[in-house]
Amino acid sequence: MFSQTVEYALRAVAFLGGQAPEARTTDQIAVATRVPKAYLSKVLQGLSRGGVVHSQRGSGGGMTLVKKPEELTILEVVNAVDPICRIQTCPLGLASHGTRLCPLHKRMDKVLAQAEETFRSTTLAEILAEPSESVPLCDFPGVVSRSVS
């Protein structure tokens, strides 16, 4: 349902949110999140344009989150790289339907609305703090994880 770009953006943001506020390089993020560096660079550009991350060039530079994890919603991350597109008019272009969606498209839009609301009401901090028996891909605070190489 969500693109590879969204998945990679969420991994990168989760990694940055789980680290000290120091900047992390694209190489560091790519290794930790297992995202191909070239693809990650494009994802990070989208996150930067969307106001989610800040890029600092030069020695000691890298990527940092613009907001604290407590203030950053998952919807902001998603919308920065691949916004959820609600169904406003008939996807088939049927003039007789116009903005009156058929039952199938109404239900599809309802699912999109629910996803949008869930992401709007979920912060990065909540994701990072949620207890889980699954070993995270990234090094989250308070969790011992295996080395990624």
**Domain of residue 109, CATH code:** 1.10.10.10
In a domain, 15, yes or no: yes
Digitized pLDDT (tens) for each residue of the chain, 149 residues in all: 789 999 999 999 999 998 777 899 999 999 999 999 999 999 999 999 999 999 988 777 899 999 999 999 999 999 999 999 988 887 777 777 777 888 888 999 999 999 999 999 999 999 999 887 775 565 555 444 434 43
In a domain, 55, yes or no: yes
In a domain, 141, yes or no: no
DSSP line for 19-40: S-SS-B-HHHHHHHHT--HHHH
Domains: count for the chain: 1
Q: Which domain holds residue 12?
A: 4-129
